[in-house]
């Protein structure tokens, strides 16, 4: 389960200025939908609506046919994991940041908590040497390591629905490729919405929609979109 649908979704931060102008999307359970488009198109806004940071001003969003406006906030947050582009970490240990508030979580505790997720994939998301650094404070992590912490944190709750909001776009291309590989493994079996601004990073997506100025302007597979230019 975890099928996501947007039906004629409209939204504006300012009610007089619509940012999303009637979005229809369909992500089958376990499938990967990529949303690409230029900066300002409304991609992050779409992610925020899924998590109910805001509610649509028109249309509706459903998970397995149920309008998310009727789902308890706690259930919604358990069902959806978001990895944002810029992760802000607490000035705390890796363990604390992965367990997100479970103070002083040890490597062992984090491992146990991750048992719902595939352990190997989970561990692959952690920064190198996290076993010894898990208790280290005053984090000096690289951008890539920070994103690994963010991914591990999201994976800890083993969400059936995953939203990757330009999760690797701030990284250098080698680090991006490394993390991309891990992400693609984690996406398997989960309903995933990947937000990206380059088509080249979403080759693996089942379907792609191109968003521009709050509207879907193209839909298709990666090969179809390339063929159309």
- Kindly give the pairing relationship between strand 161-165 and strand 4-11: unpaired
Cβ distance to ligand ADP smaller for residue 13 or 90: 13
What is the phi-psi region of residue 104: left when phi exceeds 0, alpha when psi lies from -120 to 50, beta otherwise? left
Smallest distance, ligand ADP to C-beta of residue 148, A: 13
Question: What is the SS3 assignment for 47-70?
Answer: HHHHCCCCCCCEEEEEECCEEHHH
Residue 210, token pair as written in the block: 């191109």
Residues paired with 34 in a beta bridge: 194, 208
Cβ distance to ligand ADP smaller for residue 31 or 214: 214
Residue 29, token pair as written in the block: 């359970």
Cβ distance to ligand ADP smaller for residue 15 or 138: 15
Cβ distance to ligand ADP smaller for residue 124 or 149: 149
Smallest distance, ligand ADP to C-beta of residue 11, A: 9
Smallest distance, ligand ADP to C-beta of residue 155, A: 10
Per CB under 6 A, residues contacting ligand ADP are 13, 19, 37, 39-45, 53, 77, 82, 84, 100, 150, 153-154, 157
Smallest distance, ligand ADP to C-beta of residue 178, A: 20
Smallest distance, ligand ADP to C-beta of residue 158, A: 11
What angle do helix axes 143-156 and 173-187 make, rounded to 10 degrees? 10
Classify 200 as helix, strand or coil: helix
Can you spell out the DSSP letters for 100-135?
A: TTSTT--HHHHHHHGGGS-HHHHHHHSPTTHHHHTT
Cβ distance to ligand ADP smaller for residue 31 or 81: 81
Smallest distance, ligand ADP to C-beta of residue 123, A: 18
Cβ distance to ligand ADP smaller for residue 28 or 77: 77
């Amino acid at each position: 389960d975890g099928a996501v649908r947007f039906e004629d979704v409209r939204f504006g931060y300012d009610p007089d200025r619509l940012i999303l102008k009637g979005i229809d999307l369909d992500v089958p359970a376990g499938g990967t939908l990529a949303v690409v488009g230029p900066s300002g198109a409304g991609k992050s806004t779409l992610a925020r609506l899924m998590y109910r940071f805001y509610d649509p001003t028109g249309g509706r969003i459903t998970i397995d046919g149920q309008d998310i406006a009727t789902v308890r906030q706690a259930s919604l947050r358990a069902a959806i994991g978001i990895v944002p582009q810029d992760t802000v970490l607490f000035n705390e240990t890796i363990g604390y940041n992965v367990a997100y508030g479970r103070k002083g979580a040890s490597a062992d505790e984090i491992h146990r908590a991750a048992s719902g997720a595939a352990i190997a994939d989970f561990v692959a998301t952690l920064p190198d040497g996290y076993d010894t650094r898990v208790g280290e404070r005053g984090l000096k992590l690289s951008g890539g390591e920070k994103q690994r912490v963010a991914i591990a944190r999201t994976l800890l709750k083993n969400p059936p629905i995953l939203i990757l909001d330009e999760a690797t776009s701030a990284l250098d291309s080698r680090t991006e490729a490394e993390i991309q590989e891990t992400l693609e493994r984690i996406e398997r079996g989960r309903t995933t919405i990947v937000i990206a601004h380059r088509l080249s990073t979403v080759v693996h997506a089942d379907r792609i929609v191109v968003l521009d100025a709050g509207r879907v302007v193209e839909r298709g597979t990666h090969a179809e979109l390339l063929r159309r230019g």
